[in-house]
Amino acid sequence: MPPPTPHRAALLVIDMQHAVQPLMHRADHTVGTIAGLSSRARAANVPVITVQQRGCGEVLPALAPRSGEPVVTKACADAFLNTGLDETLTRLGVTEVLVTGFATENCVETTARQALSHGYDLVLVADGHTTSVRSQPTDFAPADRAIAHHNEIYRHIDFPDRAVRVLPAGEIDFTPPERDAAEG
């Protein structure tokens, strides 16, 4: 039996760009949360991968990728579709993705589900994703409810052979889980 694959996380920062910032609900709060998490990830040698939507401008300055960090450009909601994201994650030995960014029910949701389908464990950062500001009247759920709704879905989602967690940024520990003594 081959040895277990070592745990390796990566932080995905999705579509936190200039063109969509005016549309973001609680933009400053979300940017601050992701910036703090990115800083902690880098300090723990956890890869931070910037995912940007084609045509939406530069990444917000507080979340700009550092020199040498991977940047993936996408053309639709799915950050895996026709991009090098899966290859980048594989090359880095990633087994778990932490998903943050904009917009909760579109690019964040689609990429999170695709991460599971591509074989990655998933952490949805509960306070690290946001949706669009809602104009009235609309059939969309109010922004805070939409975010809470998606967090709740992921607390109860069942995906074969995958770990799925929803954690606020403050509870994320980038220390790899301890291996069972029987695993060696």
User: Phi-psi category of 9—alpha, beta or left, where left has phi over 0 and alpha has psi -120 to 50?
Assistant: beta
Q: Which of 72, 107, 108, 146 is catalytic?
A: 107
pLDDT at 180: 42
pLDDT at 184: 41
CA distances from residue 158 to 6, 107, 117 in whole angstroms, order as listed: 22, 20, 12
H-helix or E-strand containing 21? none
For the question of whether the overall pTM of this predicted structure is more than 0.75, the answer is: yes
pLDDT at 10: 98
Is 107 an active-site residue?
Answer: yes
Q: What is the pLDDT along the chain (184 residues), one digit of tens a residue?
A: 666 778 899 999 999 999 999 999 999 999 999 999 999 999 999 999 999 999 999 999 999 999 999 999 999 999 999 999 999 999 999 999 999 999 999 999 999 999 999 999 999 999 999 999 988 778 888 999 999 999 999 999 999 999 999 999 999 998 765 544 444 4
pLDDT at 138: 82
Residue 61 CA to residue 37 CA, distance in Å, equals 15
pLDDT at 73: 98
Neighbour count for residue 104 (Cβ, 10 Å): 22
Helices (H), 25-176: 27-43, 85-91, 109-117, 143-156
